[in-house]
A and B are shown apart, each in its own frame.
Chain A
């Protein structure tokens, strides 16, 4: 017998569940692009002026990734461009998913990606050596672990935020 203390944490009926492989596919693309960012950051000497640093290739690519993270975080992963790629090119070749998942955890994870990217961009503009590379490396590890091992860093971070008392429940207390 199963009892739960609050309404289901699975995809709510009014919200379309998503194929759980979609976010992992997106994380894979993100991981590869972040490796490119890191490679560019390591290959390019740190520019002397803010304008120099704001136009170097690593900065521009990470800024583009930050925009994509923002789309995922605010419009939801279902409307993300990678989600479109997955649905159009990858999903038709796969068997149907065993179960659909709530899109909220991957959406939260996009928010974390956005935050880390913004930190990297800010450190770079401030002229901190390797700041961008280190932030991008952290984001890479998270994206890689999610894509290859199915590890959900967003889930972990969310729990730690709850424990720290920084997040309030979005439903009524029972």
Chain B
């Protein structure tokens, strides 16, 4: 290949990787309503009176640690909200049950244990708080 062709190939590769990175960044940590309506109450021994933040983690998961910290802080400072973290490495059947494709994945449960929102990747604190606010607004 000519030097120009090589340079263009390398630039194209970097551009492709950048596009992939931006696409990932646009979707990670955001709330979706996928699997809304699914029931997860059986997994939670101490549900929150307003909401439960159910976090699925694995070993070897760097973002899970940051997520645990953020969700833990939200649960500690927001009344009625509890945080539970489950390790999929020990219970892989849960990954199939909820279609977990990345960790961390956080399911936001209402007091009845029904999934009302789902966050893939490490969420930002504001995202979690906004989701909880929306949950309270729509729950009778």
Residues of chain A having any CB pair with chain B under 8 Å: 1-6, 9-10, 20, 35, 38-39, 42-43, 99, 101-102, 104-106, 108, 137, 140-141, 144-145, 148-149, 151-152, 154-156, 158-159, 162-163, 165, 167, 169-171, 173-174
Contact (A39, B62) CB under 8 Å given A10-B68, A156-B102, A163-B92: no
Q: Is the CB of A137 within 8 A of B13?
A: yes
- Report if B75 contacts A (CB, 8 A): yes
Q: Which of A20, A149, A156 has the most chain B CB atoms inside 10 A of its CB?
A: A149
Q: Is the CB of B76 within 8 A of A6?
A: no
Contact (A101, B59) CB under 8 Å given A137-B13, A149-B21, A163-B92: no
- How far apart are the CA atoms of A21 and B109 in the complex, in Å? 34
Residues of chain B having any CB pair with chain A under 8 Å: 1, 3, 5-6, 9-10, 13-14, 16-18, 20-22, 24-25, 45-46, 48, 57-66, 68-69, 71-72, 75-76, 82-92, 95-96, 100-103
- Residues on B with beta carbons closer than 8 Å to the beta carbon of A10: 65, 68
Query: What are 23 pairs between A and B in contact, CB < 8 Å?
Result: A1-B75, A2-B71, A2-B76, A5-B86, A6-B90, A9-B59, A9-B61, A10-B65, A10-B68, A42-B1, A140-B13, A140-B17, A141-B13, A141-B17, A144-B17, A145-B24, A152-B61, A155-B60, A159-B58, A159-B100, A159-B103, A163-B92, A169-B90
- Residues on A with beta carbons closer than 8 Å to the beta carbon of B46: 1, 3
Q: Is the CB of B6 within 8 A of A39?
A: yes
Q: Is the CB of B62 within 8 A of A42?
A: no
Contact (A5, B21) CB under 8 Å given A20-B62, A101-B62, A106-B62: no
Q: Is the CB of B92 within 8 A of A105?
A: no
Partner of B61, one of A5, A105, A163, A170: A105
Q: Is the CB of B62 within 8 A of A162?
A: no
| 18 more CB-based (< 8 A) A-B contacts, given A101-B62, A141-B16, A162-B58 | A1-B76, A2-B71, A2-B76, A2-B83, A9-B59, A38-B9, A104-B60, A141-B13, A141-B17, A145-B24, A152-B61, A155-B62, A155-B64, A155-B102, A159-B95, A163-B88, A169-B89, A170-B59
- Residues on B with beta carbons closer than 8 Å to the beta carbon of A35: 10, 13-14
- Residues on A with beta carbons closer than 8 Å to the beta carbon of B83: 1-3
- How far apart are the CA atoms of A108 and B14 in the complex, in Å? 24
- Residues on A with beta carbons closer than 8 Å to the beta carbon of B6: 39, 42-43
Q: Is the CB of B13 within 8 A of A38?
A: yes
Q: Is the CB of B89 within 8 A of A162?
A: yes
Partner of A155, one of B9, B87, B103: B103
- Residues on B with beta carbons closer than 8 Å to the beta carbon of A38: 9-10, 13
- How far apart are the CA atoms of A141 and B12 in the complex, in Å? 12
- Residues on B with beta carbons closer than 8 Å to the beta carbon of A2: 68, 71-72, 75-76, 82-85
Q: Is the CB of B59 within 8 A of A99?
A: no
